Amino acid sequence: MPLLKREMDMKQEEDTAAIREQPGQKTSFPGDVVFSLDTISTRTLFLGPGVRKEADNLIATRCGVLRYRPPATFFLDTSDDSYLPATGDDIVGVVVRRRGQEVLEQYYMVDFGKNTSRQTGVLPILAFKGATKRYRPNLKKGDLVYCRVRKTTVDGPVRLTCTSNNTKEQFWGPLRRTGALYRAKLSFVRRCLTEGSAEHSMIMEVGAKFPFESAVGLNGRIWLYTGFEKSQNLLYLLFRDAEEANGDVMLIKKITGRFLQETATLGDDFPVEDNTQYWVTRVA
């Protein structure tokens, strides 16, 4: 088994090298051949939005730049700013109301629309890690929740969940009300989540020296929490500046350095008060 695994790894490395050789940073238009699959051996592809497979070629279905993530994930990065939910997306949503009669059938309506439009999904009341009929989060209107898109259908509502089959990665759940929320462009959010990008390295660099909590939703909402008012404002402005920098590596490095200087000389900071208990025990 280990030998096989090593072989697979080697194969992947070869593939990765082959893919990296192909020009990918070019803007392609609908109908363009963005990538030819002749050079790679794996036939299991993960195709994201904007890419379609035809024979041995990947063809663009809209304008954008091809992005690749090992082992074999392809998608077309666009500056399109309207969010369409897809299965597996991590999003930050707002609780709108609670619906349903029986406890087991109750669910939260969660709004995850981009800036202006309303898009609501359904989050079952027990779809949290460790939630039972008695012990479960009690969310109010206006609370933020970090959740995952479980299923999207043509007619029905978008189904959301805060659980996963993988026990190691269970970080979804209600977010603190005292945190800050930043609304960003979708392209910025995608860059934040892509390893190797300037924005991602900025978050890592800041996080190493200045601990903070964040939840980056693919629907363009970024939740930030440091526990202190002034530093939270600064963090908000950092993300705002980084978005305005528009992928400029040097500028983002400059912004990061300035932010770290400012936080070092911050002086007295006021802790944000948060006495709310999101998880409550209910005696039936």
Site for other proteins in 35-94 (CB under 8 A): 94
**Considering beta carbons, is residue 97 or 133 the nearer one to other proteins?**
97
Cβ 141 to other proteins shortest distance, Å:
8
Binding characters for other proteins, 140-169, by CB under 8 A (x = yes)? --xxx-------------------------
User: Nearest CA to 63 among 29, 33, 23, 32?
Assistant: 29
List 44, 101, 117, 265, residue binding other proteins (CB under 8 A): 117
The Cα-based distances of 133 to 65, 103, 138, 140, 256 in angstroms read 47, 7, 12, 18, 45
As measured in angstroms, the least distance from the Cβ of 34 to other proteins is: 32
Residue 116 in contact with other proteins, rule: CB under 8 A: yes
**Does 269 contact other proteins by CB under 8 A?**
no
Sole binder of other proteins in the list 126, 233, 251, 260 (CB under 8 A): 233
Among 59, 65, 126, 237, indicate the residue that binds other proteins (CB under 8 A).
Answer: 237
Counting contacts by CB under 8 A, is residue 223 touching other proteins? Answer: yes
Please choose, out of 40-48, 159-167, 174-182, 260-268, the segment that lies near other proteins by the rule CB under 8 A. Answer: 174-182
One of 96, 126, 193, 260 touching other proteins (CB under 8 A): 96
Q: Name the minimum Å distance from CB 129 to other proteins.
A: 21
Binding positions for other proteins, rule: CB under 8 A: 94, 96, 111, 113, 115-118, 142-144, 175-183, 223, 229-230, 232-233, 236-237, 240
